[in-house]
């Protein structure tokens, strides 16, 4: 039974959106490794002064794909784009070999404070101006970005696609028989309070495409109202600009309601927030480009493409205003 669960787990928890904005530039992009961060890369066009940093935080699929695909696009827009792999799925003998052995193989207690160490390491990279520091995260990467922004005053801009307003339970080999026991994220060595799921292992058993991930999140939240306050990400402590992009028909979690909750928390504290919420769109909203098939996204390929087409120019303008004054 355990083997059956784990063999299906990777496909069920792979939430990352396709990152395929159209690229109209032809500048050469140099790729630099980040000292002390295995597989982390800086993408920047050659021969220019230091430029603002944008750290790309992938979703639950882990690995380098988000940085490799999106890094050159941001580099040609004038940024030092940093792909930061922080999770590489490891299901042991029940799944494919772990792609990146040096980084976390379970989505458990991922250290948010690695961003502080990353910023220090980037001071040695000539292309990076760490005094202008932005985060672009999708899904679990948006959760990561919002947690970090609520704790670090040097973060200057956050783009959060299909966000969460709470920290969620983690997963991995060690949690299969211990549901509700571990957090997704930690800070300074301490696991962050989290909202548990309901039926996560049952969802893995159901197989790819069969699990109702939105219900797994919503039911867990309904079961644990007493955890709401502690699990909530204190987004109002982040004073900088924030843009949220979400779809009402998100099949992974209710990112539209999460976006509204984030806006309300920040408005109560006098913080301005831009929220782009699309009634017919799902989870696959990063970048631009035409319709594409996205398993487990929700919405339709056409509605998701329309949302991306509307949101992407606004995200580009947001980054320019926030990071390139």
Residue 27: what pLDDT?
80
Give the pLDDT mean for 159-178.
93
Least confidently predicted of 21-30, 164-173, 209-218, 228-237:
21-30
E-only strand ranges, the chain: 29-33, 41-45, 51-57, 80-83, 110-111, 128-138, 157-161, 185-187, 190-191, 242-247, 274-278
User: What is the distance between the alpha carbons of residues 155 and 135, in angstroms, rounded to a whole number?
Assistant: 8
Answer whether 62's CB lies under 8 Å from 87's CB: yes
Position 207 pLDDT exceeds 80? no
Residue 293: what pLDDT?
83
pLDDT tens-place string over residues 229-280: 999 999 999 999 999 999 999 999 999 999 999 999 999 999 999 999 999 9
> What residues make up the domain containing 117?
2-323
Position 94 pLDDT exceeds 80? no
Band of residue 289 on the pLDDT scale cut at 50, 70, 90 = confident
Residue 178: what pLDDT?
86
For the residues of 68-79, what is the DSSP string, one character each? HHHHHHHHHTT-
pLDDT tens-place string over residues 36-87: 999 999 999 987 689 999 999 999 999 999 999 999 999 999 999 999 999 9
With a threshold of 0.75, does the pTM exceed it?
yes
Residue 209: what pLDDT?
67
pLDDT tens-place string over residues 120-144: 999 999 999 999 999 999 999 999 9
Residue 202: what pLDDT?
82
Residue 164 tokens, joined = 């969460």
Position 1 pLDDT exceeds 80? no
Domain count, the chain: 1
Residue 16: what pLDDT?
33
Name 144's Cβ contacts closer than 8 Å, sequence gap at least 6. Answer: 57, 86, 110, 112, 137, 185
Residue with tokens 């970090």: 148
SS3 call for 254: coil
CATH number for the domain spanning 258: value is 3.40.50.1820
Residue 201: what pLDDT?
79
CA distances from 60 to 76, 232, 271, 311 (A): 26, 20, 29, 22
The rounded mean pLDDT for the chain is 90
Give the pLDDT mean for 77-106.
92
């Amino acid at each position: 039974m355990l083997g059956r669960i784990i063999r299906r787990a990777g496909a069920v928890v792979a939430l990352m959106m396709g990152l395929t904005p159209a690229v109209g530039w032809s500048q050469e992009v140099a790729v630099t490794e980040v000292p002390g961060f295995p597989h982390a890369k800086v993408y920047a066009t050659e021969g220019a002064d230091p430029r603002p940093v944008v750290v790309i935080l992938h979703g639950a699929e882990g690995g380098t794909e988000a940085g490799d695909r999106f890094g050159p696009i941001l580099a040609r827009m004038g940024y030092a784009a940093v792909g930061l792999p922080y999770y590489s799925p490891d299901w042991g003998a029940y799944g494919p070999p772990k792609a990146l052995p040096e980084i976390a193989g379970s989505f458990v207690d991922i250290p948010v404070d690695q961003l502080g160490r990353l910023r220090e390491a980037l001071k040695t990279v000539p292309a990076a101006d760490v005094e202008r520091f932005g985060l672009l995260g999708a899904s679990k990467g948006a959760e990561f970005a919002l947690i970090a922004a609520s704790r670090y005053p040097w973060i200057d801009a956050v783009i959060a696609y299909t966000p969460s307003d709470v920290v969620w339970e983690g997963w991995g080999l060690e949690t299969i028989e211990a549901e509700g026991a571990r957090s997704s994220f930690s800070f300074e060595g301490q696991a962050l309070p989290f909202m548990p799921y309901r039926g996560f292992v049952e969802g893995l058993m159901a197989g790819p495409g069969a699990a109702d991930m939105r219900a797994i999140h919503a039911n867990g939240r309904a079961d644990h109202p007493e955890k709401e306050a502690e699990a909530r990400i204190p987004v109002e402590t982040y004073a900088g600009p924030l843009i949220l992009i979400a779809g009402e028909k998100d099949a992974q979690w209710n990112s539209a309601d999460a976006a509204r909750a984030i806006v309300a928390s920040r408005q109560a504290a006098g913080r301005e927030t831009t929220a782009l919420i699309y009634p017919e769109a799902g989870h696959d909203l990063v970048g631009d480009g035409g319709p594409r098939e996205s398993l487990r996204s929700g919405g339709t390929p056409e509605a998701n493409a329309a949302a991306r087409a509307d949101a992407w120019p606004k995200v580009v303008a947001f980054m320019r205003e926030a990071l390139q004054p």
